[in-house]
């Protein structure tokens, strides 16, 4: 049965291998340039204050072919699990049910449980392997850039680095198989798979991920050298927010509070924050003893969050798989 | 060898409120070529899919060769099945199908499979999707036979075939039966397909089994009576009227009787299998006349 599962899977796996090879070539070419720029900018050899060197490196590395490759691979790492779910998962059972070939397959001398198990094992292994290879290649290709920018803890980069793509891929594959089994038609199953995958992956940074590890709370004096928001509304209600945040963190909340601990809302003093312009107003603000209250996930939580999020998606995939086994034994009759 | 090939007791299958098979009690002794005949939608496919375990009964019990259908590898190995429309993997070659069979059946007879494919003149590298309907049916039959089953079940195997392919298919089937002494159950809505090959007949109409038995016995106990018009209630006890038709002066009755009929007022004739099947079909659907296909 393993041979046959591979045989049915041959063309999709060739296409995937070819696509991965194309990405590998792109990464090899641009990766060479990235290393050159890393060395040329001085970031490779600097000690202590490397800010200038890193800024130079980031400027060079995010323009031109490397910049395009950086964005493209990020998109690709989110797209790949979706493609796996759509083109590997959804047709796996839907096509058999649609074309009636399950009646041929289920009358050989193997039980349908074993038939499903083999198909899932082959497809699941290929999904995890492909996503793992791509993530590993991109993560190692971009590690200087990720290090220079600390972006990988931020919502968009997080899902395109480390081991999370493997969890996404396994989930998308199991989801596709389940949808195909329930809907019994390939194209609607593909659409349902895509919709649920997008919803599941998008819900992580929106509602879930921030709570997977205890966030760090910090209160620092308000740094007015770089103001993000400064507005005065009706009844002199003021909003002020500093743009100075930990450079390597995913900031969840950022509130400006008064010395007594309340969120600062003004009122604005019309003598300072009137016609005199923002400079005078900021000068006045600096006398109020305002503080910046932050909650954030620091970069040091990256791997902890990666493991937990991967675990969630792998567990979801396992549940879907168990459901498939139950359903194919007890309901598809 | 004495355990029945198929035994059903009060077997029923319901889809929602629609009864596909109701209260079917049946026992098929081994060593027969069994014809399952009935109009389209009568429940033939349901019965056969219950027998191979593709479906599970809503009520009642079925056992095939003494085991629960599809209850495990050994049970699956004993039963070969060619599903309706002979499904094959369109994008896979003939050779892939044979290798699939070889990898998934412990009793696989590669010699037999290869010989049959050669005999049929099929190209091993040809994609199954490019085969004609007859070739596809033959490929499916090859897969089902090469796994060396004790029982072969075929669901409308010749329905979509042209007359020549139909004859070749049935010949291949009979060749297998002669070589292996296996039992066969095949369904058709055409009596003419079954007439030449079957020695056991089941008539299934409107989800119910109307009659089942060895063809020889059935034909020996059914008669056509033609005589002056009279009330069938006058007939002696033990004679059941299956179908009656009348003209102004004459009655034509198809009857079942365990003993020979000696009634001087009737001309007594033996009937053909087709007459018998049609009589049972007509009896089952007295309220609404079914559209029946007869011989082409």
pLDDT over 50 (residue A97): yes
Average pLDDT (B175-190) is 88
pTM of the model: 0.90
Q: By the CB < 8 Å criterion, does B103 face chain A?
A: yes
Tell me the pLDDT tens digit for each residue of A6-15.
999 889 899 9
The highest-confidence range among A236-250, B138-152, B183-197, by mean pLDDT, is B138-152
Is residue A326 predicted with pLDDT exceeding 50?
A: yes
Does an H or E element contain B95, and which? helix B94-104
Strands (E), chain B: 6-15, 18-28, 33-37, 59-64, 79-82, 151-154, 183-188, 200-205, 208-214, 222-228, 239-246, 250-257, 267-270
Q: pLDDT by residue (tens digit) across A98-135?
A: 999 999 999 999 999 999 999 999 999 999 999 999 99
| Residue A164 scores a pLDDT above 70 | yes
Which whole number is the average pLDDT over B187-197? 86
Residues facing residue B149 across a β-bridge:
none
State yes or no: pLDDT of A150 exceeds 70.
no
Q: Does B104 touch chain A (CB under 8 A)?
A: yes
Q: Once rounded to an integer, what is the mean pLDDT over residues B147-175? A: 89
Task: Tell me which residue in A100, A101, A333 faces B56 most closely, judged by beta carbons.
Answer: A333
Percent of the residues in chain B that have a pLDDT greater than 90, as a whole number:
60
- What's chain A's average pLDDT? 91
Q: What value does the mean pLDDT take over residues A192-202? A: 98
Quick check: B21 contacting A, CB < 8 Å?
Answer: no
Tell which wins on pLDDT, A71 or A150: A71
Confidence (pLDDT) at A285: 87
Residue A229 belongs to what H/E stretch? strand A227-232
Residue B288: pLDDT band (50, 70, 90) is: very low
For the cut 50, the answer to whether the pLDDT of residue B296 exceeds it is: no
- Choose the mutation target among B48, B54, B91 for the interface with A, i.e. most A CBs under 10 Å: B54
Cα-Cα-Cα-Cα dihedral sign, residues A193, A198, A203, A209: positive
Percent of chain A residues topping a pLDDT of 70: 99
Over residues B13-31, the pLDDT tens digits come to 999 889 999 999 999 999 9
How many Å separate Cα A95 from the centre of its chain? 31
Which of A8, A99, A111 is the closest to B73 by Cβ? A111
Q: What is the pLDDT of residue B93?
A: 96
Tell me the per-residue pLDDT of A298-320, one tens digit each, with 9 for 90 and over. Answer: 989 999 999 999 999 999 999 99
- Residue B77: list chain A partners with CB under 8 A: 109
Where b means 16+ CB within 10 Å and e means fewer, A173-184 reads bbbbbbbbbbbb
pLDDT at residue B287 greater than cutoff 70:
no
Q: Looking at the predicted structure, is the pLDDT value of residue B47 above 70?
A: yes
Least confident of A5-14, A62-71, B85-94: A62-71
């Amino acid at each position: 049965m393993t041979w046959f599962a591979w045989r049915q899977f041959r063309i999709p796996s060739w296409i995937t291998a070819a696509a991965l090879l194309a990405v590998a070539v792109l990464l090899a070419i641009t990766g060479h340039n990235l290393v050159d720029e890393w060395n040329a900018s001085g970031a490779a050899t600097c000690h202590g204050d490397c800010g200038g060197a890193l800024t130079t490196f980031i400027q060079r590395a995010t323009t031109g072919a490397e910049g395009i490759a950086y964005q493209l691979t990020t998109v690709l790492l989110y797209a790949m699990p979706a493609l796996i779910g759509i083109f590997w998962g959804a047709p796996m059972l839907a096509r058999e049910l649609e074309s009636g070939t399950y009646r041929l397959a289920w009358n050989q001398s193997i039980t349908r449980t074993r038939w499903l198990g083999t198909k899932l094992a082959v497809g699941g292994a290929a999904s995890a392997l492909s996503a793992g290879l791509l993530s590993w290649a991109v993560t190692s290709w971009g590690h200087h850039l990720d290090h220079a920018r600390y972006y990988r803890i931020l919502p968009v980069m997080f899902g395109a680095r480390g081991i999370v793509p493997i969890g996404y891929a396994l989930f998308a594959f199991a989801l596709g198989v389940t949808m195909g089994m329930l809907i019994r038609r390939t194209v609607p199953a593909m659409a349902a798979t895509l919709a649920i995958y997008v919803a599941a992956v998008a819900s992580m940074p929106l509602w879930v991920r921030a709570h997977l590890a205890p966030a760090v709370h910090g209160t620092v004096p308000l740094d007015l050298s770089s103001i993000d928001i400064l507005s005065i509304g009706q009844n002199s209600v003021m909003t002020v927010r500093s743009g100075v945040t930990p450079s390597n963190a995913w900031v969840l909340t950022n509130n400006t509070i008064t010395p007594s601990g309340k969120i600062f809302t003004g009122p604005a003093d019309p003598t300072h924050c009137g016609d005199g312009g923002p400079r005078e107003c900021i000068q006045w603000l600096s006398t109020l003893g305002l503080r910046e209250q932050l909650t954030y996930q620091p970069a040091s939580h990256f791997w902890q969050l990666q493991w937990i999020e991967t675990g969630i998606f792998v567990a979801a995939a396992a549940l879907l798989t168990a459901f498939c086994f139950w359903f194919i034994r007890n309901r598809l009759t | 060898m004495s355990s029945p090939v198929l035994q059903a007791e009060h077997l029923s299958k319901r889809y929602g409120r629609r009864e596909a098979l109701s209260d079917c009690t049946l026992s098929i002794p081994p060593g027969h070529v069994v014809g399952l005949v009935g109009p389209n939608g009568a429940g033939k496919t349901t019965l056969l899919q219950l027998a191979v375990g593709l479906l599970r009964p809503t009520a009642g019990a079925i056992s095939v060769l003494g085991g629960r259908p599809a209850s495990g590898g050994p049970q699956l190995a004993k039963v070969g099945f060619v599903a309706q429309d002979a499904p094959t993997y369109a994008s896979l070659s003939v050779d892939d199908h044979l290798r699939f069979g070889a990898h998934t059946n412990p009793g696989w007879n590669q010699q037999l499979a290869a010989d049959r494919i050669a005999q049929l003149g099929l190209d091993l590298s040809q994609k199954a999707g490019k085969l004609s309907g007859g070739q596809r049916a033959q490929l499916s039959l090859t897969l089902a036979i090469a796994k060396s089953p004790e029982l072969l079940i075929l669901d409308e195997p010749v329905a979509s075939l042209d007359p020549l392919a139909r004859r070749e298919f049935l010949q291949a089937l009979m060749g297998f039966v002669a070589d292996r002494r296996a039992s066969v159950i095949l369904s058709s809505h055409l009596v003419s397909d079954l007439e030449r090959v079957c020695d056991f007949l089941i008539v299934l109409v409107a989800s119910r089994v109307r009659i089942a038995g060895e063809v020889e016995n059935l034909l020996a106990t059914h008669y056509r009576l033609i005589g002056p018009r009279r009330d069938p209630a006058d007939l002696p006890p033990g004679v059941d009227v299956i179908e009656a038709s009348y003209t102004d002066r004459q009655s034509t009755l198809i009857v079942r009787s365990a003993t020979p009929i000696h009634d001087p007022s009737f001309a007594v004739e033996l009937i053909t299998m087709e007459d018998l099947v049609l009589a049972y079909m007509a009896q089952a659907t007295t309220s609404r006349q079914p559209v029946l296909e007869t011989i082409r």
